[in-house]
């Protein structure tokens, strides 16, 4: 049986409560198709819009009455986003599987991910969270709330936070035990709850949002997956993206992808981390591959019929 880690992008979840409840139904169908095909699926997902929404709500409460509602750390907002998304996703998938006569338990693991306290990302926030704003709105929010804002891959302005690289998955053994028990696991949601190691084996939350594609690559390595599947809003990674001479990439080697990165073919903050995470997994052990494609094309992509495949 082939083991695949599937990383779900923003279009699999929507960006508010109503959109999410609808989106997870379509997502559950695509994932159930893979389980029905015999793949052992481990799911991870993004949380940019959700973590930003929770961050904003918590900040409003603190503003209302700081003694009653003390400031909520960003790591706690990430933890809330993991469970909020996991709750919807595991229910949608459980129902979809049951409708197909598949009695397979689905569980979300609250996953902590260790980062390096000295990661340079803490001094250079680049990870967009929350909803999009105009330049004027962003500048106003930045001065009013003391947040960092940045233009997000040509799509508007968003709040940005630190995004250190994931180093270790605290609940790795729990995830493996659930997989071994034939359960479908949702783990490392939103890149994981960011923590640093401290004295006496302790863990302490840090203000960051880890990139879910990098964390999914680490998860795929740790569970010894055959394939990392990054599902997003495009069927193929492209070169000359958005230009008249745009060309879809189908089967690409790690070295070719590195060449395209040097040519700056992939937008930082959108396609670049996916390609870098894809390379990281593909070169971690001979035979490993990464597929990047559209959510609805996951089954076709795994059958080798579409998408962009990266391999050494």
Ligand X SMILES: Nc1ncnc2c1ncn2[C@@H]1O[C@H](COP(=O)(O)OP(=O)(O)O)[C@@H](O)[C@H]1O
Pick from 11, 12, 48, 229 the residue near ligand CP by CB under 6 A: 48
The per-residue DSSP string of 206-254 comes to -S----HHHHHHHHHHHTT-SEEEEEES-SS-EESTTSTT-EE--EEEH
Residue 271 binding ligand X, by CB under 6 A: yes
Cβ distance to ligand CP smaller for residue 191 or 307: 191
CB of residue 48 to ligand X, shortest distance in Å: 7
Residue 278 binding ligand CP, by CB under 6 A: no
Of 35-43, 45-53, 99-107, 142-150, the window that binds ligand CP (rule: CB under 6 A) is 45-53
Q: Which helix (H) or strand (E) covers residue 258, if one does? A: helix 254-262
Site for ligand CP in 161-220 (CB under 6 A): 190-191, 209, 211-212
- Catalytic one among 47, 48, 189, 212? 212
Is 271:264 a contact under the CB 8 Å cutoff? Answer: no
Catalytic residue flag (residue 274)? yes
Cβ distance to ligand CP smaller for residue 209 or 291: 209
Helix (H, G, I), strand (E, B) or coil at 200: coil
Residue found under tokens 């053994």: 173
With CB atoms as reference, the residue minimizing the distance to ligand CP is: 46
CB of residue 269 to ligand CP, shortest distance in Å: 8
- Catalytic one among 48, 52, 274, 278? 274
- Catalytic one among 9, 11, 48, 269? 11
The option from ligand X, ligand CP, none interacting with 112 (CB < 5 to 8 A, set by class) reads: none
Catalytic residue flag (residue 11)? yes
Is 274:237 a contact under the CB 8 Å cutoff? Answer: yes
Catalytic residue flag (residue 10)? yes
Beta strands in the chain (DSSP E): 3-8, 40-45, 106-108, 112-114, 127-133, 148-151, 157-161, 168-169, 184-186, 193-198, 202-205, 227-232, 238-239, 247-248, 251-253, 289-294, 308-311
109 φ, ψ to 5°? -105, 120
Residues that bind ligand X (CB under 6 A): 9-11, 46, 232-234, 237-238, 241, 265-267, 270-271
Residues engaged in binding ligand CP (CB under 6 A): 9-10, 46-48, 190-191, 209, 211-212
């Amino acid at each position: 049986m082939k083991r695949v880690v599937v990383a779900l992008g923003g279009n699999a979840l929507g960006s508010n409560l109503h959109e999410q409840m609808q989106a997870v139904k379509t997502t559950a169908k695509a994932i159930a198709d893979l389980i029905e095909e015999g793949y052992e699926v481990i799911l991870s997902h993004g949380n940019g819009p959700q973590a930003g929404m929770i961050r904003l709500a918590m900040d409003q409460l603190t503003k209302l009455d700081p003694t009653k509602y003390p400031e909520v750390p960003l790591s706690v907002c990430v933890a809330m986003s993991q469970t909020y998304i996991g709750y919807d996703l595991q229910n949608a998938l459980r129902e979809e599987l049951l409708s197909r006569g598949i009695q397979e338990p689905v569980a979300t693991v609250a996953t902590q991910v260790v980062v390096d306290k000295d990661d340079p990302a803490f001094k250079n926030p680049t990870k967009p969270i929350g909803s999009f704003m105009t330049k004027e709105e962003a500048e106003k929010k930045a001065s009013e709330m003391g947040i960092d804002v940045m233009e997000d891959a040509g799509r508007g302005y968003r709040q940005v936070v630190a995004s250190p690289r994931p180093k270790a998955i605290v609940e790795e053994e729990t995830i493996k035990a659930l997989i071994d028990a034939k359960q479908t696991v949702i783990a490392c949601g939103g890149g994981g709850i960011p923590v640093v190691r401290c004295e006496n084996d302790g863990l302490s939350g840090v203000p960051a949002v880890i990139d879910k594609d990098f964390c999914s690559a680490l998860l795929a390595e740790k569970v010894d997956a055959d394939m990392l599947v990054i599902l997003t809003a495009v069927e193929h990674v492209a070169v000359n993206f958005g230009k008249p001479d745009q060309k879809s990439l189908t089967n690409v080697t790690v070295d070719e992808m590195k060449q395209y990165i040097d040519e700056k073919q992939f937008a930082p903050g959108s396609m670049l981390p996916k390609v870098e995470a894809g390379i990281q997994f593909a070169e971690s052990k001979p035979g490993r591959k990464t597929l990047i494609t559209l959510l609805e094309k996951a089954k076709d992509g795994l059958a080798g019929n579409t998408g962009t495949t990266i391999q050494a």
